[in-house]
A and B are shown apart, each in its own frame.
Chain A
Amino acid sequence: EIVMTQSPATLSVSPGERATLSCRASQSVSSYLAWYQQKPGQAPRLLIYGASTRATGIPARFSGSGSGTEFTLTISSLQSEDFAIYYCQQYSNWPRGVFTFGPGTKVDIK
């Protein structure tokens, strides 16, 4: 099973500042990496897939990069609605493998 790790566990950022979140896979997942945003009491929402493609309706301040085992989600200028938990997820071993998520990074207000 591919293990996903994320850092930091918590990121304190002021509104308007840049946030950089990291995700690492225990083995290469190529570019089959997604990022999700989850707010309290809500389901996760797809932000980025294919490591760098924004999902429909996602603002341009969200960007993803990386391939293989190292990935980054950048929020260029944090808005109040961006304070949430962010999860990365690999889907590289479709169709017969296990999809795995990272433990999440909580972005809170500094």
Chain B
Amino acid sequence: QVELQESGPGLVKPSETLSLTCTVSGGSISSYYWSWIRQPPGKGLEWIGYIYYSGSTNYNPSLKSRITISVDTSKNQCSLRLSSVTAADTAVYYCARHSYGYNPFDYWGQGTLVTVSS
């Protein structure tokens, strides 16, 4: 059974960089896409961007200037960096898997709450 686990600081100061890691267990990170999705408290879901195991990326234009997503196949991990954060970036951050082609998010991590506050 594939499991995804997000990890990283739960509190980030305004203007700093949010950094999260998604560790994949029970399966390989190879041959799949790995997306980051966030959900502000009490609100809906926003897709942030994805990375293919090969390293190619696609980012949401609304966040593109502040995002970097990377992958480390040797560790079975992908990572998200979001720079210049504000209170509006406070959210639960999820990583999710999808397959090559027109496919939905079939496996999700449990999510991690990141609060932006001084």
Contact = CB atoms under 8 A, between A and B. Distances in A.
Interface of A: 1, 32, 34, 36, 42-46, 49, 55, 87, 89, 91-92, 94-104
A99 to B, nearest CB: 4
A4 B98 CA distance: 20
A97 B45 CA distance: 16
Contact of A87 (B44, B102, B103, B109): B44
Contacts, number: 53
Interface in B97-111: 98, 101-106, 108-111
B115 interface: no
Contacts of A1: 61
A87 B104 contact: no
A101 B46 contact: yes
B60 interface: yes
B58 A96 contact: yes
16 contacts: A42-B110, A43-B108, A43-B110, A44-B108, A46-B104, A46-B106, A49-B104, A89-B45, A91-B102, A91-B103, A94-B102, A95-B58, A98-B47, A100-B47, A101-B46, A104-B44
B94 interface: yes
A58 B16 CA distance: 41
Given A96-B58, A98-B61, A99-B35, A44 B45 contact: yes
Interface in B48-72: 58, 60-61
A99 B102 CA distance: 11
A101 B43 CA distance: 12
Nearest to A95: B58
B104 A91 contact: yes
Nearest to B4: A43
A32 B104 CA distance: 8
B94 A43 contact: yes
Given A32-B102, A43-B111, A44-B108, A101 B45 contact: yes
